[in-house]
């Protein structure tokens, strides 16, 4: 048996990526999945940093099988500008009144729940923001949250040498 070299995805998932996909298709063919399953990931890389991989969907690969989650993880992009941080999340199938957002200076918690769909995700923000500055819009299944960046306050303090 020839074994191929482990790649990025194998390292990320902790097992052979092809085995995970094969298990998903096998579950479909055997009819064990009565509801649709959604699984995906997005990968971003800033210059000089390691790639950041975010998973989304309502299943998570583990061991030799698939673990179904009660809540879906939405596909999320985080975009920094000079003045703001934009968080964009795909959460189709809910009304804007179903969406619940909580923010701190370091993270944004997204929840959306109705009788048919449940989404939940905690987004760690790349810089500090002012949570009171948050503005959110929801159109065509896409949530966009804009938060103003907080400039770090550089304080100088004199230190006595003993």
Which range is most confident: 27-31, 38-42, 64-68, 113-117?
113-117
Which range is most confident: 1-5, 6-10, 72-76, 101-105?
101-105
**Contact in structure between 125 and 131 (CB atoms under 8 Å):** no
Phi, psi of 8, deg, nearest 5: -55, -50
- Is pLDDT of 25 > 90? no
CA-to-CA distance for 75 and 41, rounded, in angstroms?
8
Which has the higher per-residue pLDDT, 56 or 118? Answer: 118
In a domain, 159, yes or no: no
The fraction of the chain above a pLDDT of 90, given in percent, is 36
Residue 78 and residue 96 in one domain? yes
What's the structural domain count of the chain?
Answer: 2
CATH of the domain at 103: 2.60.40.790
pLDDT in tens, 89-143: 999 989 999 999 999 999 999 999 998 888 999 999 999 999 999 999 999 999 9
Domain that holds residue 13: 1-69
- Is pLDDT of 150 > 60? yes
CA-to-CA distance for 39 and 83, rounded, in angstroms?
33
Instruction: Report the pLDDT value the prediction gives residue 141, as an integer from 0 to 100.
Output: 93
Residue 63 and residue 120 in one domain? no
Which has the higher per-residue pLDDT, 80 or 155? Answer: 80
Q: How confident is the model at residue 1 (pLDDT cuts 50, 70, 90)?
A: very low
Q: Residue 122 CA to chain centroid, in angstroms?
A: 7
Instruction: Report the pLDDT value the prediction gives residue 5, as an integer from 0 to 100.
Output: 54
- Reported in sequence order, the residue ranges of the chain that DSSP labels E, i.e. its strands, are 39-44, 52-62, 65-73, 75-80, 84-90, 99-103, 107-113, 118-124, 129-139, 142-149
Domain boundary among 48, 69, 90: 69
In a domain, 121, yes or no: yes
Instruction: Report the pLDDT value the prediction gives residue 97, as an integer from 0 to 100.
Output: 94
Beta bridge pairs of residue 109: 102, 122
Q: How confident is the model at residue 64 (pLDDT cuts 50, 70, 90)?
A: very low
């Amino acid at each position: 048996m020839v074994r191929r070299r482990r790649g990025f995805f194998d390292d990320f998932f902790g097992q052979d990526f092809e085995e995970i996909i094969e298990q998903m298709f096998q579950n479909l063919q055997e009819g064990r999945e009565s509801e649709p399953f959604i699984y995906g990931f997005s990968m971003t890389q800033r210059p000089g940093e390691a790639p950041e991989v975010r998973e989304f969907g309502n299943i998570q690969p583990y061991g030799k099988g698939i673990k179904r989650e009660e809540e879906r993880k939405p596909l999320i992009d985080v975009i920094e500008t000079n003045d703001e941080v934009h968080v964009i999340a795909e959460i189709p199938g809910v009304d804007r009144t179903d969406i619940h957002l909580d923010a701190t200076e370091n993270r944004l918690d997204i929840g959306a729940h109705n009788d048919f769909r449940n989404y939940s995700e905690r987004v760690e923000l790349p810089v500090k923001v002012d949570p009171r500055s948050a503005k959110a819009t929801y159109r065509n299944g896409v949530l966009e949250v804009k938060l103003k960046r907080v400039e770090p306050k550089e304080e100088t303090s004199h230190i006595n040498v003993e």
